[in-house]
Chain A
Amino acid sequence: MSDTSIIGRATTIRGHVRGTGAIRVDGRVEGDVSTDGDVEVGPEAQIRGSVSGATLRVAGAVAGDLTGGVAVLLENGARVVGDLSAPRIGVTEGALVRGNVETGPSDGARPAFGSLSAVRREPEVARVETGRLDVGRTAGRSVAAGQDRRIPASLAGGKIPAPGAKTTPNNDAKTSSPTPSTSAKETAPATTAKTTPSGRGKATPPAPTRAQATRDAPRPGERQAAPVRSGSVAASTAGGRSFGVARGQPAAESASAREGTRSGRIAPPPVVPALSKGARVRKKKAGLR
């Protein structure tokens, strides 16, 4: 008993833990753990560093290599990102591993069953956190991939586009509808060309931020409907550039876009809605009105 060490649940160690005797880890260790005794990593433990001992029994999270003089046993709930090596290795169902696994004598006589990863994915925890962060960040600024996906949804309701920050076009759209149009291209695939270029052709945008239309040149004859459309288009540019999403709700968006333009409000991003024929027609009508 006296030679068993316990890193309790509420305990964090930054640094190395080494010595003799058994160790049970229920808390956090940011550093290597090494002993000549057994190591037990509890379900709630988090270790960032390599772990070595006689028999390692892991039910928690380890980001680092596991080296057992006798055995490495991963239990249900274990999450390991790192290499495993020991004469005996056991991976129970429900354990996640990402890394190289080598069993048997350490002389390397046997070929390793190379990255016998039970499951190839990040620890769930990490993933969840990322998601949450994205959401938080998104609201305010930055045009991250994840963000765009969300914007259109809110815009569908005809509300002011969220991402005011990064997008200059947005403001432009507000003040002078014909102006911006700018990028749109990034957003819209070739097909969209019809809607967008018109706006661009007409206006010389103060060249905000985004890359200017790359793929398509403005097509002649498209100009007529320009002002109205460009307004909405520009806004859309500002709002979202994700194809999938926009395409998902063309009707709603274009509708709101129209509204926005008329009312002088910032129009939400119809962008790709132009892809759908119906949307385009409707738009045109709007323009002519």
Chain B
Amino acid sequence: MAGTVIGEGLTIEGELVTDDEVVVQGTVRGILTSGDVVSIAAGGVVEADIQAASLSVGGQATGNVTASDRIDIQAGGRLVGDVKAARLTIADGASFKGNVDMDV
């Protein structure tokens, strides 16, 4: 079971900091920081700067993202913001707008 789940219908406004895995099915506005995996499920909305080990976007994300490991934007996912990560995948059908810094 995921450490932290922001369920559908729930909104967090502020700062969310954790070492756990985070699943966002609802809404997070502000700052989202995790030492683990952050997944934004389809239907989930994140309007925040995100810092995580890895990020998977199936819903909507707006904000700058820094991932120590990887970022995956899934089909149907939407990410607007600058991205910094060692690895990045953008699935066919995903939408993305922003700069990419892969630390080459």
Contacts and interface: CB of A to CB of B under 8 A. Distances in A.
A27 B14 contact: no
Interface string A108-139: 00000000000000000000000000000000
B17 interface: yes
Interface in B1-52: 1-22, 25-27, 30
Interface in A1-52: 2-23, 27, 31, 35
Contacts of B5: 4-6, 8
A11 B3 contact: yes
Interface in A261-282: none
Given A10-B20, A12-B18, A18 B11 contact: yes
B10 A18 contact: yes
Interface in A69-100: none
Given A5-B26, A8-B20, A15 B15 contact: yes
A31 B14 CA distance: 9
Contacts, number: 90
Interface residues of B, number: 26
A45 B22 CA distance: 17
Is the contact region of chain B dominated by helix, strand, or loop, or is it mixed? strand
Given A19-B26, A27-B18, A6 B9 contact: no
Contact of B7 (A9, A10, A21, A27): A21
Contacts of B22: 8, 11
B15 A21 contact: no
Given A3-B8, A17-B10, A21-B7, A8 B15 contact: no
A27 B34 CA distance: 14
- B1, B12, B22, B25, most chain A CB atoms within 10 A: B12
Given A8-B3, A10-B3, A2 B8 contact: yes
B8 A7 contact: no
Contacts of A12: 15-18
Interface of A: 2-23, 27, 31, 35
Given A12-B15, A19-B11, 4 more contacts: A6-B5, A8-B18, A11-B22, A14-B14
16 contacts: A2-B25, A3-B7, A6-B7, A7-B4, A8-B20, A11-B3, A11-B17, A11-B18, A11-B22, A13-B16, A17-B11, A19-B7, A19-B9, A20-B10, A23-B10, A35-B10
